[in-house]
Amino acid sequence: MIKAAELLFKAPESEKPTILLMIDRNELEDQMLKNLESVGVKNSVKADHISDLQRLLKEDYRGIILTMIHKFRDMPAKMNLRKNIYVLIDEAHRTTGGDLGNYLMAAVPNATYIGFTGTPVDKTVYGKGTFKTFGLEDDKGYLHKYSISDSIEDGTTLPLFYGIAPNDLLVPKEILEKEFLNLAEAEGINDIEELNKILERAVNTRNFLKGTARVEKVARLVAGHYLENVEPMGYKAFMVAVDRPACAMYKKALDKLLPAEYSEVVYTGNNNDTEELKQYHLEAKKEKDIRKRFTRIDEYPKILIVTEKLLTGYDAPILYAMYLDKPMRDHTLLQAIARVNRPYENEERDMVKPHGFVLDFVGIFENLEKALAFDSDEVNAIVRDIALLKHLFKAKMEESVPPYLKLISRNFNDKDTDNLIAHFRDKSRRKEFFKLYRELEMLYEIISPDLFLRPYIDNYSTLSAIYKVVRNAYAKRVQPDREFQRKTNELIRNHIDLNNLQKATEFYEINEKTIEQIKETGKSDNVRVINLVKSIEKIAEENSDDLYLIGLKERAEQVEERYEDRQISTQEALAELKAIYRQDVERKKEQAAKGFDGLTFFVYGTLLDKGLKNPEGITRQIKGEFLNNPNWQTSEKEMRELRSGIYYAVLTEEDDIDKAASLVDELFTRLFKAYNL
């Protein structure tokens, strides 16, 4: 809306227009004004009162007027007859409905109306609904459309999958259709308040949903599903009850199955509520705290029990699952399930939310054609049954996985490991395999636990073990606790001999005996190359104070890079790595003989590289400068004093001032790189 307003306002052919930006919430007004300013639109004003709006229109204000539909109440007709008035309306599926829309259109009868909405009313009792007022330029009614599938493709939202609860828990079809799905007035429901009014009359539906025995069964299924399917992935859930008494019932039922801190009830309290409802009233400060904690990983609550609040506008990307026990349709259904389609990533946990999930306890998703009058064809294409994920897992396991399984024939002994390392030496092969495995792993995490997976457990376990070997061999940095998602990790521990997998990577010390030790291991040359590189990387990480090892690590990784790109043979790579080991053994002897620590030997090596006459003597002077300035990495003052001290130490042996300055610059460049400063 802001971009459209900006373009209209700046377009010469608009001839200094008046643009009404119509929003539906008070809290958006100040935010919209700031956003308008941020894009450089200065001619904008907020109509705080009805009188302000009437005055602005009557005085023929040219610019952007920020207002709300209720400020048109009882406005006189023909307040402004100009044609270059543009009315941009947010939430257009409902804003112009009723008398207020009539007052608006009578006040500025020659205006152009542009509606913005995420959920246009289509096949409804209002004829063509939103399209009756807006966007008549194409045969489908849209002036422009950015679809749900577009947003999924762009990564701004995620696909939605659903599952259906057991039949005995679903609202009987004839009751659901009679009291809800077949009601003409239920079509195109614009907001949650309208939905609640209809549900108040759906006596049989509500009685069924709040049956004590049923609530207990649903709570058991929800608790089990959350603990087994959702919590292991690190995500959170909504329990959506039909009304506030049902929220209270579900809280009590869930507290019998889960620790009390797992769930919180969030609804609006009334003064005339029963004592049972009042015990879940929340002060504003506490509710704000609950909302905030829910968005954070590893913090309670993990399940929010809601019926109206938080079903629109609340943004919690960590929300993955919605347990839907409230009949919904059209806009209210789309807005509610959109709570779970927000992308979420957590690099520390290696979490990337794959999609949103709704477990339907009502039966709405069995009747999607009736439940979604809005663009039902498109929604059917992107709101899919979780069974499709099972088909996808099955197809990948049966078609793509078998060639990888053939690489293992001896239960991951040395020969199998060598075959894997040799086969995946090619980076493109690794990339293709890692992509397939990550897709399968995510599918397994989502579907598990499920009887469907039983025929695939052995092969999936083997594939996971292959991934572990290849990942450990070629990854630059492996963090064992994050190699697998939680359910897969448990599966591997139960089905694979981890001792064999751990033998695949052996680490060696760097000393005079290492080379002989490597020859005696019986490992193949491919495995030796990988293990030598891994050993150097591991030693460098564990001895971060030994700066010489950083250069050693870089050289080893360059050898590995050329080995993987087949620029050098396995034997050539092995020879170069052995030479690096021998060089470090000699370096350690020299360092010990001179009495240098890792830092001063690093300085010594730099001075030696630059051909100074007395590198050892200068290094001993420089060592004293480091001792005098121990906080040089964090203190600018000590950094200056250290640099000055080193410069004068170099000048004791080097007469050329420019050469001395260049050498000091080179030394600090290397230090900064080594310490990541």
The answer to whether 618 touches 647, Cβ cutoff 8 Å, is no
- Say how far apart CA 649 and CA 641 lie, in whole Å: 12
Contact 322/356 with Cβ under 8 angstroms? Answer: yes
- Residues 14-41: tens digit of each pLDDT: 888 998 888 776 656 677 777 777 777 7
Q: Give the residue, 196 or 30, on which the prediction is more confident.
A: 196
Summarize pLDDT for 528-587 with one digit per residue, the tens: 777 777 777 777 776 666 666 667 777 777 877 787 777 888 778 777 777 877 777 777
- The residue among 520 and 417 whose pLDDT is bigger is 417
C-beta separation of 196 from 242 below 8 A: no
* Three-state DSSP state, 342: coil
Three-state SS across 385-440?
Answer: ECHHHHHHHHHHHHHCCHHHHCCCCCCCCHHHHHHHHHHCCCHHHHHHHHHHHHHH
Per-residue b or e along 297-335, where b marks 16 or more CB atoms closer than 10 Å to that residue's CB: eeebbbbbbbbbbbbeebebbbbbbbbbbbbbbbbbbbb
Query: What does residue 358 show for φ and ψ, rounded to 5 degrees?
Result: -125, 125
Where residue 126 falls among pLDDT bands split at 50, 70, 90?
very low
pLDDT > 90 fraction of the chain, expressed in percent and rounded: 21
Min mean pLDDT across 98-107, 399-408, 502-511, 606-615 is at: 502-511
Rounded mean pLDDT of the chain?
Answer: 80
Residue 632, token pair as written in the block: 């040089």
pLDDT value, residue 478: 47
Tokens standing for 359? 């477990």
pLDDT category, 502, cuts 50, 70, 90?
Answer: low
* Residue the block writes with tokens 């205006």: 111
Look at residue 313 and tell me whether its pLDDT is greater than 80: no
Is the previous residue joined to 630 through a cis bond, with omega within 30 degrees of 0?
no
- On the question of a common fold for 2-146 and 153-385, the answer reads yes
Measured CA angle at 93 (ends 88, 97), to 5 deg: 90
The β-bridge partners of 323 are 239, 359
CB–CB of 176/363 below 8 Å? yes
pLDDT at 124 over 50: no
Most confident of 299-303, 567-571, 638-642, 656-660: 299-303
| Per-residue confidence (pLDDT) for residue 562, from 0 to 100 | 82
Average pLDDT over residues 367-391: 70
- What is the domain partition of the chain in residue ranges? 2-146, 153-385, 392-503, 514-594, 598-675
Q: Cα 403 to chain center, whole Å?
A: 32
Q: CATH class for domain 153-385?
A: alpha beta
Look at residue 494 in the predicted model and tell me its pLDDT: 67
From CA 650, how far away is CA 325, in angstroms rounded?
78
Three-state SS across 118-177?
CCCCCCECCECCHHHHCCCCCCCCCCCCCCHHHHHHHCCCCCEEEEECCHHHCCCHHHHH
Return d(Cα 3, Cα 593) in angstroms, integer: 71
- Enumerate residues 6+ apart whose C-beta is below 8 A from 596: 604, 619, 623
Q: The CATH number of 2-146 is which of 3.40.50.1000, 3.40.50.300, 3.20.20.70, 3.40.50.80?
A: 3.40.50.300
pTM over cut 0.85: no
pLDDT at 297 > cutoff 70: yes
Predicted confidence (pLDDT) at residue 454 exceeds the cutoff of 70 = yes
Average pLDDT over residues 369-375: 65
Distance between CA atoms of 461 and 455, rounded to whole angstroms? 11
Rounded Cα distance between 316 and 311, Å, is 11
* pLDDT in the model for residue 441: 86
Between the two ends of the chain, the Cα-to-Cα distance in Å is: 44
- Summarised one tens digit per residue, pLDDT across range 54-87 is 888 888 888 888 888 778 778 888 888 888 889 8
What is the per-residue pLDDT for 394? 93
pLDDT given for residue 116 in this prediction:
84
Q: Which range (110-114, 493-497, 565-569) has the least confidence?
A: 493-497
Residue 388: how many CB atoms within 10 A of its CB?
Answer: 11
Q: Which is more confident, 314 or 210?
A: 210
Spatial contact of 349 and 298, defined as CB atoms under 8 Å apart: no
Query: How long a stretch of residues is the chain?
Result: 677
- Whether pLDDT at 509 is above 80: no
Residue 629 has pLDDT above 80, yes or no: yes
660: pLDDT strictly greater than 70: yes
Where are the extended beta strands (E) located within 233-273? 236-240, 263-265
* Type of residue at 230: V
Helix (H, G, I), strand (E, B) or coil at 353: coil
Q: Is the pLDDT of residue 372 over 60?
A: yes
- Residue 338 and residue 527: Cα distance in Å, rounded? 49
Across 82-107, average pLDDT: 76
Average pLDDT, stretch 179-184? 79
In our burial notation (b when 16+ CB lie closer than 10 A, e otherwise), range 143-182 reads eeeeebeeebeeeebbbbbbbbbeeebbbeeebbeebbbe
Bridge partner list, 124: 127
Confidence of residue 304 (pLDDT cuts 50, 70, 90): very high
